[in-house]
Amino acid sequence: MSTGLPRRSGFIDPAKFQALRRTLASTDPAEVEDSVPLRVLVQLLVIVGVIAIDVAAADVVDSPGVSFWAVPVSIIGGFWSWYRRYKANIPVKFCIAIAMLIALAVFFMRLVGDSNDTRLVLAELLIQLQVFHSFDLPRRKDLSYSLVIGLILMGVAATLSQTLLFAPILLAFVAIAIPVLMLDYRSRLGLSAPSFRGVRSDLSLRRLGTFLAIILALGLAIFAVMPRFPGYQLRNFPVSAPINFQGEFNAETITNPGYVRDGVGNGTGGTGQESGTGAGQMDDYSYYGFSSRINQNLRGTLTPRVVMRVRSQAEGFLRVLAFDHYTGQGWEISRNEPEQMRKLDRPNWTFRFNLPLEPTLGRRKEVIQSYTVVAELPNVIPVMYEARQLYFPTKEVAIDLDGGLRAPVPLSEGLTYTVVSDVPYRNRTQLQRNSRRYPEEVIRNYLGVPDALQQRIQKTTQDILNAAPTPITTPYEQSLYLAQYLKQNYTLQPDLPFFGGSEDLAEAFLYRYQGGYPDHFSTVLTLMMRSVGIPARLVVGFLPGQFNPFTGYYVVKNTDAFALTEVYISGYGWFAFNPIPGMEAIPPTVNDYQAFSVLRQFWNWIAGWLPSPIAGLLGGVFEWIAGTVAWIFAELTTLFNRGWVGILLGAGLVTGLAFLGWIAWSGWSSWRYQRWLAKLPPMESLYQRMLKWLESQGIQKSSVQTPLEFARQVRYQQAPIPVDIVDEISNAYLHWRYGGQSADTQYLTRRLQQARQQTRRVRRVRP
């Protein structure tokens, strides 16, 4: 009886027997891993994951510095594990178990103390467990556990990272992961090499570089087209550690680091900022508008500096403060007394402040933003209008009567907070139908214009509106038209001289200089709206900043700070307009759906290189597709939020859309197939149609079969196929293809049609 083992001269060959034994043992999960290259590369992969946590955490908090001890200790553990891979190591396993239990206990204690953001705490626990685990890695599956931990660490680092410093680390991780996967697969096949010399040919730099390039190209393509769906559904938002403010919270005080107060300051704030009048020089880094009183007679420019990184579900104007009283050369918040501030407290068990929200008629969209402060800012809190919930690390915040949020302390570097805003949609059709009946409080506070200017500015404004090509009667359209008019008929004046002591800013802008500084445009628009009876106020804040598609953050600089005009639309609330030249009249706001924001950013970059007509045409197509997708997702979201009935309707709608998509795809495929056949020679087209018909009958030709071999296969199939026509067309195809002989394609086409009809009749009569 044969045993299946290799023999030589009647005896088992010892060398082949040992080889067979090693092959069979390679499938044993308890096999000891002897491959030094696999162990070294797995160790490098985990080290990259540990370093990634330190680098990414530095973007939001002080770096924990775990790599300084975790990397060398894990390297020592790797050497020890390889040296003792054939030993039981019971004492070491026992010590590892105790150390892991201690690390788990410390993790739970930190989890209770750092309830604001647990990502870093979890990452440190994983690093500690991996370091302990590195002292016991005898088997391949133990190395697989280390691979998983390294992958998890990279995932956590990706959620923490806010800059492109994470990109080279990610590339290094992918570059190491490719040979690791190859070596792991070879080890599972029993082909592992004990040293690097044995795998040099399989892990050549050219081959690995090719794989890396392909993976990066595919990854970037998928990253660009992948929809960005709204996140943060669990309401576990990033917030800094609690800030214990000592003393009484003076809510009316705004501390701007660029200002000089009572002889105290950094020396760069200039003069006249606190009084709101007089000539002066702006600070190089701090925007002058973040104060309870601003002086627009200051001159100078800001030196660009990043001040915030914002992760937001949608881009929008980051509102800081609003001003209601015009002083002639600036603005002030007239209702800034302590009794006019509303202080809000939060419970000890949550970081959430519930903010008052004015009811309106218009539709709103929830937008969640997480802010990380990079450079010191005043104790005013930027938010998207209109904030409903604030997750902030202090025990108290205050809100003024114009919706500005204030903290007890300045916003220091590294501070993180989150805001949930109900941002109103700008439905132009609805906003055009509003009335001019305003609440008494709005009339009292937002229609004031100095008496000396009222008549002159009112006449100028009315003349501009009367000169419009078509009559403009609604406040919203008048606001938009006046903003556009200022953009087109007045210019930025970078060398504007200082105003005199009694000179009015708006009067000088309109009638003397024909322009001014950027913020002066918003001041003039605000006064023009007020002069014709439309409530308006000046608001300061930040543009959304530059979106980084690789990190997902908006990078906001101090130069993104400027002033806008907010106009009150009866029944719908406040809406901002931007009259500054070179900028959009309507600030960035929410759309129905912004899932493809990265793809849109990429298209904007491409469009900058294309001719305007082509870019406009392609942009229109892109907008139509995006609008259609946005409408579909918006309708599905609305249905799914209506309970079981909505879910059933939504499921039916998805099924119907899928069916329509299938029909469209089938029609497109059929059209392409017919077009392809039309380009072929008649005999080739006929043969391909026969193959397509036979494939629909369950008989498919292999790519390695010749036409005659395939015809013989059809003859032996248990199918009601007239095999004579298959033989006839196949022989005619061979004579045409290789013999250059012509064929009667019309006759063969009729024969093929008859064969199809005969097959259909046979199938109908069969039981």
Residue 292 pLDDT greater than 50, yes or no: yes
- Are 579 and 546 in contact by the 8 Å Cβ rule? The answer is no
Length of the chain: 767
Specify the DSSP element, H or E, that contains 307: strand 306-312
* Over residues 383-392, mean pLDDT: 92
The answer to whether the Cα torsion of 208, 213, 216, 221 is positive or negative is negative
Characterize the bridge pairing of strands 298-299 and 280-281: parallel
List alpha helices for 532-611, DSSP H: 597-607
Q: What is the mean pLDDT of the chain?
A: 80
Residue 247 pLDDT greater than 80, yes or no: no
* Over residues 365-373, mean pLDDT: 90
Residue-wise pLDDT for 307-323, tens only, equals: 999 988 888 899 999 99
Residue 750 pLDDT greater than 90, yes or no: no
State how far the alpha carbon of 538 is from the alpha carbons of 272, 324, 395, 515, in Å: 20, 7, 30, 18
Residue 295 pLDDT greater than 80, yes or no: yes
Output phi, psi for 665, to 5 deg: -65, -40
Output phi, psi for 706, to 5 deg: -80, 165
* Over residues 561-575, mean pLDDT: 92
Residue type, 760: R
List alpha helices for 58-204, DSSP H: 67-83, 90-113, 119-133, 140-160, 166-188
For residue 287, what pLDDT is reported?
Answer: 92
Q: What is the DSSP code (8-state) at residue 242? A: P
For residue 411, what pLDDT is reported?
Answer: 92
For residue 277, what pLDDT is reported?
Answer: 62
Residue-wise pLDDT for 126-178, tens only, equals: 888 888 888 887 777 778 888 888 888 888 888 778 777 888 888 888 888 88
Between residues 636 and 166, which one has the greater pLDDT? Answer: 166
Residue 588 pLDDT greater than 60, yes or no: yes
Between residues 764 and 143, which one has the greater pLDDT? Answer: 143
For residue 377, what pLDDT is reported?
Answer: 92
The encoded tokens of residue 414 equal 């590294």
Residue type, 461: T
Residue that is written with structure tokens 């419009």 in the block: 468
Specify the DSSP element, H or E, that contains 759: helix 745-765
For residue 236, what pLDDT is reported?
Answer: 62
Residue-wise pLDDT for 517-537, tens only, equals: 999 999 999 999 999 999 999
Structural domains of the chain, ranges and CATH numbers in brackets: 23-225 (no CATH), 431-593 (3.10.620.30), 680-765 (no CATH)
For residue 59, what pLDDT is reported?
Answer: 67
The encoded tokens of residue 111 equal 């989890």
CA distance 535 to 402: 13
CA distance 369 to 756: 63
Across the chain, which distance is largest between two alpha carbons, in Å? 121
CA distance 252 to 334: 11
For residue 222, what pLDDT is reported?
Answer: 72
CA distance 538 to 760: 78
* Over residues 571-594, mean pLDDT: 82
Residue that is written with structure tokens 């020592």 in the block: 76
- Report which of 122, 127, 123 is spatially closest to residue 70, judged by C-alpha positions: 127
Q: pTM score, two decimals?
A: 0.67
In SS3 terms, 456-473 reads as HHHHHHHHHHHCCCCCCC
Give the model's confidence band at 121: pLDDT under 50 very low, under 70 low, under 90 confident, else very high: confident
For residue 719, what pLDDT is reported?
Answer: 66
* Over residues 729-743, mean pLDDT: 86
For residue 2, what pLDDT is reported?
Answer: 43
CA distance 546 to 28: 54
- Are 162 and 60 in contact by the 8 Å Cβ rule? The answer is yes
Specify the DSSP element, H or E, that contains 529: helix 518-531
The encoded tokens of residue 57 equal 């955490």
Between residues 538 and 142, which one has the greater pLDDT? Answer: 538
Can you name the residues that pair with 53 across neighbouring β-strands? none
Give the model's confidence band at 482: pLDDT under 50 very low, under 70 low, under 90 confident, else very high: very high
Can you name the residues that pair with 318 across neighbouring β-strands? 384, 542
Give the model's confidence band at 384: pLDDT under 50 very low, under 70 low, under 90 confident, else very high: very high
% the chain with pLDDT above 70:
80
SS3 assignment, position 341: coil
Residue 425 pLDDT greater than 50, yes or no: yes
Give the model's confidence band at 263: pLDDT under 50 very low, under 70 low, under 90 confident, else very high: very low
CA distance 138 to 123: 24
CA distance 52 to 169: 6
For residue 574, what pLDDT is reported?
Answer: 92
- Report which of 546, 621, 630 is spatially closest to residue 591, judged by C-alpha positions: 630
CA distance 699 to 701: 7
CA distance 588 to 258: 28
* Over residues 173-192, mean pLDDT: 80
Radius of gyration of the chain, Cα coordinates, nearest whole angstrom = 36
Give the model's confidence band at 406: pLDDT under 50 very low, under 70 low, under 90 confident, else very high: very high
Find the range with the poorest average confidence among 175-189, 384-398, 542-556, 598-612: 598-612
SS3 assignment, position 387: strand
For residue 5, what pLDDT is reported?
Answer: 43
SS3 assignment, position 585: coil
State how far the alpha carbon of 347 is from the alpha carbons of 110, 111, 237, 630, in Å: 20, 18, 16, 38
The encoded tokens of residue 42 equal 């797995």
Burial 613-637 (b: 16+ CB within 10 A, else e): eebeeeeeeeeeebeeebeeeeebe
CA distance 262 to 156: 47
Give the model's confidence band at 697: pLDDT under 50 very low, under 70 low, under 90 confident, else very high: confident
Residue 98 pLDDT greater than 80, yes or no: yes
CA 531 to chain centre: 43
Give the model's confidence band at 268: pLDDT under 50 very low, under 70 low, under 90 confident, else very high: very low
CA distance 72 to 250: 50
* Over residues 101-111, mean pLDDT: 83
The encoded tokens of residue 287 equal 């925007």
For residue 201, what pLDDT is reported?
Answer: 58
Q: What is the DSSP code (8-state) at residue 199? A: G
Peptide bond into 386 cis (omega under 30): yes
Give the model's confidence band at 605: pLDDT under 50 very low, under 70 low, under 90 confident, else very high: low
Residue-wise pLDDT for 669-681, tens only, equals: 888 888 888 888 8
Residue 227 pLDDT greater than 50, yes or no: yes
For residue 321, what pLDDT is reported?
Answer: 93
* Over residues 392-421, mean pLDDT: 91
- Report which of 5, 122, 58 is spatially closest to residue 372, judged by C-alpha positions: 58
Residue type, 69: W
Burial bucket for residue 75 (CB in 10 Å: 0-12, 13-18, 19+): middle
* Over residues 404-433, mean pLDDT: 88
